[in-house]
Structure 1
């Protein structure tokens, strides 16, 4: 059987794990040379906005099940087209979009009483300018839908520059209080039957991606009781949102206070440029967990 795969930088690990499980892989890549291209049985390279080209390719190969290993907006825009062509995927569009939209997610957990950094939401640069006196600096600027990477900014001028970029790209603007603490993350799987966590991982995205303004960001080890509390909270959040698949819940901890930053709706599991090595150090094959969970969701396990 051929499984379709759209995975971005996770294409290598997910292709290999799918083949280990006995499947052939039809990989879609957005550009030549992406991870997984040399391992896949079939590969189509095209702009991910070419929906009909991708659908025709899957139909030609008789692919009726597709796994997403990336949350890139161009990939996710394919979901309705796949559904219209009766192609099953590992994603539920409604819950994915709830988590992917940082503003909607923050609002949900805020109402549920979950601790998260104080935040402001805007649609335009002018709205930001009108509230500039209420915003504490430094602060963290985020696109509501990940169109740009988060940035820590120290001045109103830089804040307004970035909000202008976000407004021009049609993104909601999230301005978040900066918490000077220690980063960590928890992977959580939900296959519709069970919700499982894989322990606290001391992965700091700001450090690994060299994000603007986050010099000195760190991930320090926490006491075991605090780790257990974070793992329990992670599973509760996944249950609250109702999202299925393998997700990554990001935190910052300050003086034993646990602040939820976000849920990454699809955990990146590529061999390079992800948290994969951090899980590998704990003998956890996070790519295999991603594949196993996804196979259940598409009805293969």
Structure 2
């Protein structure tokens, strides 16, 4: 009997538009001969499932819905979470599925909560010898001085939503008179903000996944954009050149892949993750860890899977079946 796979998308943040694209990608990649695929949309207002062009309400008590044609309650065997941002990338949804005993595709609750918080995650990994940018953390109650920020981090610097992604409300700030506006924009996205020193170099990203029987680290992608940085337009509107494998030395390739494996283990990752780095003066600095990486047809992970000579349908099947075998 075919298992019911819920592709869970949507979310509570601006990244819902990216989630919609990733959901379409995942649905096209999954094995329809092996699984029944359902699209579950989660927003603050409601949870729904789309079936045959009709939309039905999902019962949050047991993650099911009633099919009006057969009057049967349909349960889902597995959740493929493709919500970027809250509640799918920060541990909230993972805790929900843990309580229901439903296996899912991503890292667990604790790893998701850790990696979603850029400031805490980077400082955690810094303790294990991984290089990261100097940074400051602000929340709504933090008293800060713009000149003090300038003295500590210098210009240019980056202001980002601390628990956001897809470069929404991320600003490269070159002068103090631009700083407050950038901080306000980031606070408009999330309740806390990270300010990071600028590191000049070559940006690369590396994907990885592990199952009970094996570990796979993908070829590295180099990111080249004419924009000030790898912003939303570069990520999703084609203003970028993505080169896989990256044009870096064999030694640096080995080092980036080693660090990706190390990060995977240190944060307690599960499923597919992607780790972003910038190489400066022949030293890799970690930018961030993505536990729900984009999965459109042209996203980094599908590109890297193809460059590795692997079939994405088989990779996703491995990840799903590994979770069933772990039960």
Asked whether the two chains share a fold, i.e. TM above 0.5, the reply is yes
What does residue 60 of structure 1 align with? 73
Q: 1:256 to 1:46 in 2, by over 3 A?
A: farther
1:18/1:291 contact within 8 Å kept: yes
The alpha-carbon distance between structure 1 residues 282 and 112, as it changes in their structure 2 partners (threshold 3 A), is: closer
1:12 to partner: Cα distance: 2.8
- What CA distance in whole angstroms lies between the structure 2 residues aligned with 1:203 and 1:284? 21
SS at match of 2:252: helix
* SS in structure 2 at match of 1:131: helix
Match of 1:209 in 2: 232
Report the TM-score, using the length of structure 1 for normalisation: 0.80
Partner residue in 2 for 1:146: 164
In structure 2, what is the equivalent of residue 237 of structure 1?
A: 263
1:70 maps to 83
Name the SS of the counterpart of 2:119 in structure 1: helix
2:102 pairs, out of 66, 79, 87, with: 87
Aligned counterpart in structure 1 of residue 279 of structure 2, from 208, 229, 253: 253
Task: Give, in angstroms, the shift of residue 103 of structure 1.
Answer: 1.1
Corresponding residue to 1:23 among 24, 31, 35: 35
Instruction: State the aligned residue count.
Output: 290
Correspondence list, 1:143-292, <5 A: 143-146=161-164, 148-203=168-223, 206-207=229-230, 209-210=232-233, 221-272=247-298, 276-277=302-303, 279-281=305-307, 283-286=309-312, 288-292=314-318
Is the 1:117–1:259 contact (alpha carbons within 8 Å) kept by the matching residues of 2?
yes
2:169·2:189 contact (CA, 8 Å) conserved in 1? no
- Unmatched tracts of structure 2, length 5 or more: 10-18, 44-48, 67-71
Deviation at 1:200, TM superposition (A): 1.3
Quote the Cα distance in structure 2 between the aligned partners of 1:26 and 1:42.
10
SS where residue 261 of structure 1 aligns?
strand
Separation in 1, partners of 2:95, 2:170: 28
Give the Cα separation in 2 of the matches to 1:111 and 1:123. 23
- Contact 1:182–1:217 at 8 Å: present in 2 too? no
Cα distance in 1 for partners of 2:304, 2:232 equals 14
**CA–CA distance in 1 between the matches of 2:240 and 2:80?**
36
Looking at structure 1, the residues matched to 256 and 78 of structure 2 have their Cα atoms a distance apart, in angstroms, of 34
The 1-side partners of 2:178 and 2:271 are apart by 37
Correspondence for 1:3: 5
* Distance in 1 of aligned mates of 2:176 and 2:311: 43
